[in-house]
């Protein structure tokens, strides 16, 4: 009887390993979808030009898509910057680090908003010199039941009101 215990233990460990492999592969990757908005003012502009900014973050597992879309107050497009990269969760689950590896930009007719010019410049500089543009998304406030979040994005120090979808 004492010789059977090691075999039973080995069989139990094998069963646990197989079950963990099977059910571990069944898990869906964590998905995050933020739809955010903000108002922008070009303060150096004599006309005090105002823009609306829609900031979207889509993440599935580690893959992340960040999309900045700029609009004039009449609703016409002023430009966009779309970035792809990898997402990692930071300390205490309130920060996300995004390592942007590529971007695409579109500019509408006329001058781009200052925010878009800055984002284009700093991300282009980082991608050229380091091959990665680091971003931090800090969750300042969130309520899953009300489906909202307030986030700050670095670089740029932009604060956005977001609709949280999971």
Task: Out of 1-5, 36-40, 49-53, 151-155, pick the least confident.
Answer: 1-5
How many domains does the chain divide into?
1
Is residue 90 a part of any domain in this protein? yes
Is residue 160 a part of any domain in this protein? yes
- What are the C-alpha distances in Å from 28 to residues 21, 23, 47, 61? 14, 11, 49, 8
Average pLDDT over residues 79-90: 90
d(CA 100, CA 133): 5
Is residue 25 a part of any domain in this protein? no
Neighbours of 16 (CB within 10 A): 10
The pLDDT tens digits of the residues spanning 31-70 come to: 788 999 888 876 665 666 788 999 999 998 899 999 999 9
d(CA 159, CA 140): 9
Give the pLDDT confidence score for residue 32 in this predicted structure. 80
Is residue 118 a part of any domain in this protein? yes
pTM, entire model: 0.77
Is residue 22 a part of any domain in this protein? no
Is residue 3 a part of any domain in this protein? no
Give the pLDDT confidence score for residue 12 in this predicted structure. 65
Is residue 72 a part of any domain in this protein? yes
Q: What share of the chain is helix, strand, coil (3-state, %, to 5)?
A: 25, 50, 25
Give the pLDDT confidence score for residue 111 in this predicted structure. 83
> What is the per-residue burial (b if ≥16 Cβ within 10 Å, else e) of 79-93?
bbbebebebeeeeee
Is residue 133 a part of any domain in this protein? yes
> What is the residue range of 88's domain?
31-165
* CATH assignment at residue 128: 2.40.128
**Which among 74, 72, 79, 81 is positioned nearest to 50, based on CA atoms?**
72
């Amino acid at each position: 009887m004492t010789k059977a215990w090691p075999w039973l233990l080995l069989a139990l460990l094998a069963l646990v390993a197989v079950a963990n492999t099977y059910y571990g592969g069944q898990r869906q990757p964590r998905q995050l979808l933020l739809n955010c908005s903000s108002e922008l003012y070009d303060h150096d502009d004599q006309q005090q030009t105002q823009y609306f900014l829609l900031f979207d973050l889509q993440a599935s597992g580690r893959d992340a898509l960040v999309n900045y879309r700029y609009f004039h107050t009449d609703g016409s497009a002023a430009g966009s910057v779309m970035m792809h990269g990898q997402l990692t969760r930071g300390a205490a689950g309130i920060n996300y680090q995004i390592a942007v590896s590529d971007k695409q930009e579109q500019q509408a007719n006329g001058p781009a908003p200052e925010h878009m010019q800055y984002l284009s410049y700093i991300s282009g500089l980082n991608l050229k010199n380091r091959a990665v543009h680091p971003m931090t998304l800090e969750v300042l406030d969130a309520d899953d039941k009300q489906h909202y979040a307030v986030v700050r994005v670095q670089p740029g120090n932009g604060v956005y009101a977001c609709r949280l979808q999971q």
